[in-house]
Amino acid sequence: MTYGTLGPGESHVKAILSKSAGIAAGAFIFSVGLNNFLIANHLSEGGFVGLSVLGWYLFHIPVGATFLVLNVPLLWLGGRMFGREFVLKTLWGVAAVSIFSELTKGFQTPVDDKLLAALYGGVLSGIGLGIVFRFGATTGGADVIARVVKHFWGISMGKTLFAIDVAVIGMIAVLIGRQTAMYSLVALFVSSRVVDFVLEGISAARAATIISDRSEEIADRIHLELGRGTTLVPAVGGYTGIRRRMVYTVVHRDEIIRLHWIVKSVDPEAFVVVNEVHDVLGEGFTR
């Protein structure tokens, strides 16, 4: 083996340690947001974390302990249905959240404005969860239930997760108070948006589909003036039956106006569709 390089086994161990550290970092950030802003200001979360927080408010049962206990039967079920790898990733995510939610209890900052607390808590918990998800793990609980429901009944995971969150927030409204439930809902919404941001990033690219009788000329101009690649896709008009080629290309957000001008100058009658895209991999974009 060449000096300074890692063998296959060492590389595998390094990858596992890197993922484990990333999951732990995400769980820590999530727990700080939970304790420092949400619990400190008598707010809550959705899902199984929300149930655990509810147990703390009503019976003073530690959040981490409740969260771990609630997940044990689900981890067993997930192992039976989805395999060992799924259980190991989920187990570390659950354990990390349980541990750090207890270790960060001292990080509490009560504030006068509960809306501000909900916003800060939602942002931090969203960043933490996004990091956990990005390293290939989950925090168990509702995620496992959603997978099981999808497996047996075909209901989308998003719908199941939303239903569980609504049920938990409803319990908080009845047992703790409607104001707490409303601010917790704000935190939950912010958290979900931040998770999307962490996973997908800011949309810095746009994909354009251009339908024109002069597709080759438009593609050549894009190559020359924007330095972007194109793909010519055979297409048939559904109404007219006319055969032509579509141009598909991906450009940076600040290049979209120049793209419009190129298309307009070549074929003012061209049909153009532009969409946001995320995580573009390849020459000229993220590697």
| pLDDT for the residue numbered 5 | 53
- Residue 82 or 69, more confident: 69
> What is the pLDDT confidence band of residue 1, given thresholds at 50, 70 and 90?
very low
Rounded to whole angstroms, how far apart are CA atoms 160 and 147?
9
Q: Find out whether 228 and 220 touch, Cβ atoms under 8 Å.
A: no
Same-domain pairing of 231 and 192: no
Extract the tokens encoding 33.
């947001």
Same-domain pairing of 35 and 131: yes
Q: Find out whether 30 and 99 touch, Cβ atoms under 8 Å.
A: no
Find the length of the chain.
287
> What is the pLDDT confidence band of residue 249, given thresholds at 50, 70 and 90?
very high
Q: Which of 172, 200, 228 is the last residue of a domain?
A: 200
Q: What is the mean pLDDT of residues 201-210?
A: 82
Residue 47 exposed, middle or buried by CB count within 10 Å (0-12, 13-18, 19+): buried
> What is the pLDDT confidence band of residue 222, given thresholds at 50, 70 and 90?
very high
| pLDDT for the residue numbered 284 | 67
The percent of residues in the chain predicted with pLDDT above 70, rounded, is: 92
Q: Which of 200, 221, 238 is the last residue of a domain?
A: 200
Range of the domain at 109: 8-200
> Above 90 in pLDDT, residue 282?
no
Closest CA to 68 of 41, 49, 81: 49
> What is the pLDDT confidence band of residue 158, given thresholds at 50, 70 and 90?
low
Residue 1 lies in a domain: no
Same-domain pairing of 110 and 244: no
Q: Which secondary structure element, helix H or strand E, spans residue 24, and what is its range?
A: helix 8-33
| pLDDT for the residue numbered 287 | 54
Q: Please tell me the number of Cα atoms within 13 Å of 231 on its side-chain side.
A: 10
Same-domain pairing of 182 and 74: yes
> What is the pLDDT confidence band of residue 261, given thresholds at 50, 70 and 90?
very high
Same-domain pairing of 47 and 108: yes
| pLDDT for the residue numbered 11 | 76
Same-domain pairing of 95 and 221: no
The percent of residues in the chain predicted with pLDDT above 90, rounded, is: 49
What beta strand segments (E) does the chain contain? 205-211, 230-236, 243-252, 271-277
Residue 242 lies in a domain: yes
Extract the tokens encoding 95.
């354990």
pLDDT-wise least confident of 96-110, 143-157, 239-253:
143-157
Residue 164 lies in a domain: yes
pLDDT tens-digit series, residues 71-114: 998 888 888 887 777 788 788 889 999 999 999 988 777 888 99
Residue 284 lies in a domain: no
Residue 76 lies in a domain: yes
| pLDDT for the residue numbered 274 | 93
Mean pLDDT for the chain overall: 86
Same-domain pairing of 189 and 220: no
> Above 70 in pLDDT, residue 277?
yes
Same-domain pairing of 110 and 213: no
| pLDDT for the residue numbered 82 | 77
Residue 157 lies in a domain: yes
Reported pTM:
0.74
pLDDT tens-digit series, residues 7-28: 556 777 787 888 889 999 999 9
pLDDT tens-digit series, residues 174-183: 999 999 999 9
Same-domain pairing of 142 and 83: yes
Same-domain pairing of 236 and 188: no
Q: Which of 167, 200, 233 is the last residue of a domain?
A: 200
Q: Is 3 left (phi over 0), alpha (psi -120 to 50) or beta?
A: beta
CATH of the domain at 241: 3.30.70.120
The total number of structural domains that make up the chain = 2
